[in-house]
Chains A and B, each alone.
With several copies, the nearest count.
Chain A
Amino acid sequence: MNNVLFFAHLKDEVGVESLQIEAKGKSVLALKQEVHETYGLSSIDSVMTAINEEFAEDDDVIQEGDTIAFIPPVSGG
């Protein structure tokens, strides 16, 4: 299983701060699409993704036990 964390307003979109999802073997992009379709996460194009506190690319593959975090870039200043 994998722990998936939602930062900032993504929490409000999904409705929870974290989810347990079976994502082993999936790419980051595939997980993004799943979360978009199943849990209503918007703007998956621009959301940043970290695996185990390290930024990941869309084609990185998720391993058993990895913690994935989705972080929205924000622009306010």
Chain B
Amino acid sequence: MNDRYSRQLLFSPIGEKGQSLIGRKHVLMIGAGALGSGNAEVLVRSGVGKLTIIDRDYVEASNLQRQQLYTEEDVKEKLPKAIAAKKRLMAINSEVEVVAMVADAVPSLLEDLVSEVDLILDATDNFETRMLLNDISQKHHIPWIYGACVGSFGMSLTIIPGVTPCLHCLLKKIPIQGMTCDTGGIIAPAVQMVIAHQTAEALKILVGDLDAIRTTFTSFDMWRNQYSNIKVAKIKDTGCLSCGEAPTYPFLQQENLTKTTVLCGRDTVQVRPSTVQQLDLQRLSQQMKVSGYDTKGNPYLLSIDLKPERVVIFQDGRALIHGTKDLAQARSIYQKLLG
């Protein structure tokens, strides 16, 4: 596949030198939903050296409307997104090293990973994880690119430690949200637009063209034909606990991270045990069947239909409780099943 990158080499801000840099870089992608799958496809086609994808979810029918990389077959097999993404990405470009992790992006996991990471791409669906990425970015001096969308609306911001303000400067605290995928839906053009911005910034960072990096917060509404760039320099806060003069990285501290989370866009609670488990899913499945539960599974997860709730348990002990938004109820269901 000698000719593979020829059109990218012709683009002078990349060229032979830039392509060679891209091919030596390691990008960490947090999330493999709409933004994650689209960003991953662009980076892998563009020839990034290594891509690590962390995602805690599996492919569902409602993903197919906007999440590149996934097919009806992936839904039928209930494949974890990271696994399904890797499968497709390898067919697209076998020269790229793709590492798929079916896991939640908790501080300890990220701290272990980031020593050899050049760029973090945000494709999560919640602000808690973004604040965590932001602290990891500052602590380890790794740039990251915020991206998010809902309805026909989206936004992106490039954060370079030591240069730009950080997400904590901008948001002060984890925002209470008035709008989620659950209430406003999402259309694919908004997703594509965020991907265009995140991947352009990613390529600039990977080739080291720092002068070209966007210094504004970009937001847009594709249905209402609006596009806005807002300068961020002024909000850089020397007292910021994430990027200021005396950082404490508050979102890396376990006590600041919840164990149960309502997932964006779904009537679902995630429950995460305080320590990572190594469950024997096959044995667990047998037990559940004996107890009269309707279960299905694959090597990566076990699905238990409680009617109306449905519980999906992963090997690390994490569970998704579908059919509820009540954190306490979710925790209760989890504990009834797993003790």
Contacts and interface: CB of A to CB of B under 8 A. Distances in A.
Asked if the two chains touch in their complex, CB atoms less than 8 Å apart, one says: yes
Contacts of B150: 8-9, 74-76
B193 to A, nearest CB: 13
B123 A43 contact: no
Contacts of B148: 73-77
A68 to B, nearest CB: 12
A71 B219 contact: yes
B36 A73 contact: no
Interface size class on chain A is 20 to 34
A57 interface: yes
B99 to A, nearest CB: 20
Nearest to B232: A55
B119 interface: no
A23 to B, nearest CB: 18
Interface stretch (B108-116, B175-183, B199-207): B175-183
A54 to B, nearest CB: 4
A21 interface: no
Per DSSP, chain B at the interface is mixed
B221 A8 contact: yes
Given A7-B153, A43-B175, A53-B229, A77 B221 contact: no
Interface in A27-77: 42-43, 45-46, 48, 50, 53-57, 69, 71-77
A69 B177 contact: no
B125 to A, nearest CB: 4
B125 A72 contact: no
A42 B226 CA distance: 22
B235 interface: yes
B228 A77 contact: no
13 contacts: A8-B151, A8-B219, A9-B150, A11-B224, A50-B230, A71-B155, A73-B155, A73-B175, A74-B153, A75-B148, A77-B31, A77-B36, A77-B122
Interface of B: 31, 33-36, 122-127, 130, 147-151, 153-155, 170-171, 173, 175-181, 184, 186, 217, 219, 221, 224, 226, 228-232, 234-235, 264-265
Given A8-B179, A72-B179, 10 more contacts: A7-B221, A9-B151, A72-B178, A74-B150, A76-B34, A76-B149, A77-B35, A77-B148, A77-B149, A77-B264
Please provide the 10 A-B residue pairs with the shortest distance between their CB atoms, ordered closest to farther: A46-B175, A8-B153, A76-B150, A54-B231, A43-B178, A77-B125, A77-B35, A74-B150, A50-B230, A76-B181
